[in-house]
């Protein structure tokens, strides 16, 4: 592709937000968030902006995720906050 771009599997954590887990006490809310994300992102163009170019302690990259919508790119991190499916994380 040029410009040093490579494609391979990478794990991400949404930067600046905390979503409920799909296990334990928050399972129902976590599954709701997961279904919302799956419906939002599946088979659509996405863009990932990493915050740091190194992995955090669990081997994931911190990222802001965008999905292409009819009116342009939508910040998924902010959308999860607006929908009440995540809370701010510092």
pLDDT by residue, tens only, the chain of 90 residues: 456 666 677 789 999 999 999 999 999 999 999 999 999 999 999 999 998 878 888 888 899 999 999 999 999 999 999 999 999 987
pLDDT score for 57 = 86
Here the CATH number for the domain that contains residue 20 is 2.40.50.90
| Residues linked to residue 39 through DSSP beta bridges, in sequence order | none
In a domain, 56, yes or no: yes
pLDDT score for 10 = 79
- Stated pTM of the model: 0.84
Give the β-pairing of 61-69 and 46-50.
Answer: antiparallel
In a domain, 5, yes or no: no
In a domain, 1, yes or no: no
pLDDT score for 51 = 87
- CA 49 – CA 12 distance, rounded (Å): 10
DSSP structural state of residue 23:
S
In a domain, 20, yes or no: yes
């Amino acid at each position: 592709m040029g410009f040093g771009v490579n494609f391979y599997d990478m794990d991400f954590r949404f930067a600046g937000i905390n979503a409920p887990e799909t296990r334990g006490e928050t399972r129902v809310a976590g599954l709701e968030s997961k279904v919302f994300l799956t419906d939002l992102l599946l088979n659509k163009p996405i863009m990932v902006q990493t915050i740091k170019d190194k992995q955090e302690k669990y081997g994931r990259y911190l990222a802001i995720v965008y999905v292409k919508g009819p009116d342009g790119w939508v910040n998924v991190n902010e959308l999860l906050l607006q929908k009440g499916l995540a809370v701010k994380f510092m």
